[in-house]
Amino acid sequence: MLASQEEAVFALSIAALAVVAVLLTYREQVYVGIDREFARLTGLRVWAYDLLVFTLLALATVGLIKVVGFVLEHVLLLLPSAVGVRLSRSSKGVLAISACASISASLAGLCLAVLLDQSPAGVVGFLLLSAYLASLLLKRRAGHR
């Protein structure tokens, strides 16, 4: 990944902002995700949490496109959460698995790309696709038991 120091700081800033927002609003976001109407009836300002999520998604999208490109941005936003949803039974588990999958694939992909003299975006994408396919197989085998 041919990112400059400024781009790396920019990406880390967006990541830090997203982590802080998730940690501060996790419970409310889960309530809104499970039952939007109940959350609204309890007095929760659902529109504010929606605004926060969509703003963070837009910032992450713009930041990732700027740093890693269009294709890898989509891969990094979609596949880790898909793996987390397949492997976890709780919202905390999905969050933990998603974060671990994206960080692990990014670090391993960068190292493998350097060792194999390949494109980091392609290797990271391949690792995340492999993780997703493995999660599909694991879920299918668990379903047959």
The predicted model scores a pTM of 0.68
Side-chain-side CA neighbours of 107 within 13 Å: the count stands at 5
pLDDT range class, residue 142, cuts 50, 70, 90? confident
Q: Residue range 36-50: average pLDDT?
A: 92
Region for 45 from its dihedrals, namely left if φ exceeds 0, alpha if ψ lies in -120 to 50, beta otherwise: beta
Digit-coded pLDDT (tens) for 46-67: 999 999 989 988 888 887 777 7
The domains of the chain are located at 1-68, 69-145
- Using CA atoms, how far apart are residues 93 and 83, in angstroms rounded to an integer? 11
* DSSP code, position 118: -
CA gap 85, 132 in Å, rounded: 10
